[in-house]
Structure 1
Amino acid sequence: MASKSVERLLNVIMTIGSRRRIDRAKLFAVIPDYARATSEQAAERMFERDKAAILELGLPLVTDRDVLDENTVYYRIDAAESGAVLDLSTQEYTVLLAASRAWDDAAAGGAARRVRSKLLSLGHDADPDLLRRTPRGAVESLPVLSPLLEAVTSARSVRFTYRGTQGAPAERFVEPWVVGVHDGHWYVHGWDRDRYAPRLFRASRIESFPVEGPPALEPRPERTELATVLDALQDSDDRARAVLEAAPFKALALRDRAGAPLEATRITLPDLPRPAARRLLLANIRWLELVEPAAWRAEVAEVLANIAVAHEGEGDTSGIAAGAVRTAPRIRTTPTGNDTLSRLISEASYVMSRGEVDLDELSSALGISEKQLITDLQVLFVCGDMGTGWEDFIEAEWEHGVVRVRNAEPLRRALRLSAVEITALLAGLAALEPSAGDTEGIVASARAKLLAGVTEQARSVEPVEPPTRAELAEAASVDEMASRTADRAESILAAVQQAIQADDSAEEAVGSRLTIRYSSVDRPGTSVRRIRPLRIETDGSRSYLLADCELAGAQRRFRLDRIVEILPDDTPQARPDAGEGPSLGGRLDGEVWLRLDPPGQWVAESFGAAEMRDGDDGVLYARLDRPVRAALVDAVLESSGAVEVLSPADLRNTIVTVAQVAGARHTQQ
């Protein structure tokens, strides 16, 4: 059941909202918790907390003083401000609803929990066809985000326990400046009070619930972009435009950076610092050879040789048993009273705007179980206007699987979004945008309305957004090859969206099938496949297409950025050539143990290590369960030797072979 404070708040809202106004003395007399308070001061403190909670919900609670007696205070909910919420079209509401579902609200905390409920209180009906075609986005959901975002909006400091790459957790005292998403991961950038300098923290490495501290003292920069801060970490005076030889249709990320045609065998990267270029090259080294600069070429050859030598023979697993098992942090995010209350109000508003709603429809819309929904309705049933008696309590029914709510007009109003909740929606939109396709304009207009509804202070917490397609096109106009790359991505996404839309009425709808050329990461060459697109999903910075594949005879997920081109319908289907060298397809059976030096510990996070053990000198031992083979091999190479596979032996042999083959290309004259 809901806590007594939730019931009290609901009664206060119903009692104030059911009349034009009510004076403070009458309110204190009819609300049982105030009337039973041990003293008048205790009742005052309780009411002040309740007022703050009601305002946080987004309800326009107004205080008036009697013009004849200033000691008489009245309270009302301002009906004139009922429109002070987002004015959304059905299409904009639909994409925002999809954005709210990008969060795993069980893990993300209060802002993520409340935002979907508040959207439902708007009384809109979503466009079911658009909702089906809107990408299913996902953002990293972490319980520490809400207090970090709230610290930014309130300009306060926070304390938390942070585990850096050196392994040992330590308490940090930080004034957050910006909290945002970059490449699918959350970061907080701000002033570290103990170190007297700006610092960047990855939110997933925060191991305690941030505790609010005193007001911030250090002036906040006028504009801080996470991309700029992250790029500075790999900056170097040694910069150059690397020239590469690459296999056609491979190293797609590099081609995107260079704006190179997909079939081109010679690629020139933009001017990059040496550390950033080396990481990018090694992550794609199976498909390319660095031609120049010569010094960088020699360095790449040396790194690959060292990786091969480190993986020859059996791995030294003695450190695993000696390592201290790292206990996963348990950060509890128990729903607050306001989380529950916003859901209760939204349930009542949603049902009253429709007359009646199926129980399963309402529970699905809110993302809660039917059992929890019935519990909520039982709370509504015992609350109401306390100033008139039981006859004016809320009527809630849910017999026969149909929900009806009556006599709750004060709850039939849209709840305004706070700056933190708007930020949660902006992050969800950022997850949708890379694969928005024909919904791009709707996503853009929904974002504009969110930004218009947030204060100037809240704008500083806006997650770093990927550039819009218009911005990409403008930037690409100075480079013909970059323009070709952007056009290709646009045409593929448009074709996929059109096929999904055409397939909404029949299994074999005309135009719902596509023939694609697909470049897999685990084998040379490309495949030609005939598919029927079903939906687009995003996971962090990556977008996937779920489709029926004729060649496989089953559903398959295709990375959108690896669909090379749309081919004519009569193009014969073909599997990629087997190629030479070890097979990197599929997942590894069983477990993999890694030894990671501090610079390579991002690999354990990226692959969701099932177990981690701390060794000496900041070394980390990590166990991965059935990782994707090709992705792990590429990550080991990308780490420049900071990661060693300890077991199984056949994976070590694979890395030796891959590193030696790639290294040989860089030692030949």
Structure 2
Amino acid sequence: MDTATRLLRLLSLLQSRPQWDGAELATRLDITPRTVRRDVARLRSLGYPIDAEAGIGGGYRLGPGGRLPPLLLEDEEAVAVAVGLRAATTATVSGVEEAAASALAKLNQVLPARLREQVSAIGAQVTALPQGELPTIDGEVLTILAAACRDTEGLRFAYRTHDGTDSARSVEPLRIVHTGRRWYLVARDRDRDAWRTFRVDRITHPERTGIRHHFDNPPDPVALVAEGTNIAPWQLVARVRVQVDAETARKALPPSEVIVDPIDAHSCELRFAANDLSPLTFQTTRIPWPFEILDPPELRTAVHALAHRLLNA
């Protein structure tokens, strides 16, 4: 194995797990521990941050920062990355499209011809279902919000509500939730002392406050977004008790359509909403388990009428 190949192999091993013992690396590369030390020194001279600790529990690990080491990918991984980058070129996050196109062009330059053919075939034969006009997210705003969530650091930002009212918010961020169509920030609003969901496309001028926070019992961010988008905006809310446990129901019913609340080990309550009875009736008929309509009474009437009509047909 020549030196260049060995160095790439060493980088690949260091990327594969957090820490390596020098003797292990020497065995995997079929070289001496002294050669491992020399190769590590060569990689450091090229800008790769490799940390080393002596003694029991020590070893080598690839540290953060420095130049990005080359990604050594298996065939399936390379195709997956290329397909993901191609999908990102049509994302709703501003700035990501151009960066994804640039990264895809660089990746295509180093992909073997057989893999380029696979990626091209997928791109040519896959068409995304149009989803209408979706709001565009500022990539820089999204990055600031995500970093504040990661570091449990407070945020201040300007926010425009659905009716066009502008306000200044001070929040403790928890998580960003993507529904497939929109992005939401789940956070505790300090001024209102309550949990809120904020559409990211309505957030401007976010600033990190430098003030850290800690949550003792935070809510489920996905459930909070589902409640705010599936129930709150609508006039009619259906409540249906089903004879199945909540975990099974959650696996079968998308949270973007139905909220599942456990009742006991063998039953749960489903909630879904709309502005008129027709979609509620349709959703009810799709429930695959024995159920009882709890509310509203007019939904029971509509489902009974539909059942009679189907039986007569």
TM-score by length of 1: 0.26
- Which of the two has higher C-alpha Rg? 1
Considering fraction of residues, name the structure with more strand: 2
TM-score by length of 2: 0.48
